Structure 1
């Protein structure tokens, strides 16, 4: 790469994206980075510019805009909607144009998720199937119809075609309130997806819930550990000594252990009950809630994995299952205050 590194960043105002961008802002090589973020909010765009970020006003559905910016990028971080195939295709088209024009391969660090691994346990049991990202043959046993695969597979195919090196990061249940300069300036969303949804659903139904018996298992990772991993991967790609796996060998799970889903739902019930919402024992979600609440069926599944590749790169996540459960009270307090 040239001395200046052109970076396209999607999802800059989001929970995980903002946390990764926060780390790029404090990176020792930040002076080399020319970061362009695609942002819809004029107010947030103006604030981002004060941090030295170039902003393209628009959405990820603006195909021409996305393609044109990608065609100038050495590195692309996609941390927005991981199921947006249109945006992914626009980015890949831009990177392909760049390669055809210059002969240079760009780097694409794409965010997917461990939802790709789910089964249909419905809270009844814990599976003995654990996916290891060091084993591409095992990952390729996932059906094409699995969640996120409709985007992940074209990303890997692009690497196979030789015009881009692709790295797919699959965070698990990310938790913890995000902090930092972008939060302080009102640019970044501080909340994850699963816990706030569980909390808000518990408030709505007057009682925290659980899918079936909650005997299924999911991996977890703290927001700070997950954001740190992206920078470790980014640095390893730039150093290329040795080059980290890409393409079919470029899947990277984000996990630091697993938890029983019942235990998390119980923690939410206890925290809500302390605020006068229901009792401290979660009740089973109804059949109707399974149909109308998009996360309930996912909550009842198993998704187990090992982040072998990340740890081989030197990633050392610090936050444990105890921290996950310990974060619930602060999340409940913040959600109830916001609402």
Structure 2
């Protein structure tokens, strides 16, 4: 089961795709069994809020053994609900919470597990939900159907805020959703463990980080930028995006006039002047999340050129994707391989695996006696 609204789920009668998702879920989970039972569609945000409060009160009133998987959408919304969830946590319930961003440790209840998510308007994990398998199996899921630029922003009563949701007590649905959310939780725990290990290996202070990007928003580049952003955020470091697609054997990414003055770290406005709006958008997203960011447009292919920039700009950590550890022939000929990078720099190099795990590629770059994070 793909736990997100797909293109095929959307119809003229329901452009949100929620009805299509429910039908697809019912078909896949039902199999040859009886029809799904106990489905109830909720029509207004206030109805949904009332229902969620009833679930929370039921969990809090029980003794040890209750569980609750809850979608807050964002860390900010979890902060607003902090006191209520402190009480649920103190009642002994297992609480696993999901959302974009990371709440302050002082706000997260002591035994609550927080799972950080990438932004998505279609994934179930990024929506508003409460799922419990015990003491009473119950599930509530509400997709936000507001305009995309309003997604996960503001309160329920704000103009234009819309949700479409359902509640169910069918254990096939509840157990399947919990299994999916628990998979995300375990992935998150593995990543946190890897980050902790990496933190003990990296030389500090880390003031500048460089990673790769492209104009196209591939899954690989999104993951790479996300992991680099997390490392930058945790070290209050500047993040520099090195745009691979800028390099060309035939043309320079810079204008002919006064070219030398532009060969530097560029900001969002500079990139818009050069017609590189996708990279400008990436910088905007980073800046909006509180990370100081800039971009470099290389004039030559290869990691030797990147290493020269890293030296010039006093970069502390370079982050590359696992795909360039042992790349194909074309990338190797262009000079993009981990071996070629390590041959040309003594900077710390971190590799991001396909699952988001990060590891130190050259721990020997840490001289004896230097501090680690």
Q: Fold conserved (TM > 0.5)?
A: no
More contact order relative to length (CA 8 Å, sep ≥ 6):
1
Alignment TM-score, normalising by the size of structure 1? 0.31
Rg comparison, structure with higher value: 2
> TM-score of the superposition, structure 2-length normalised?
0.29
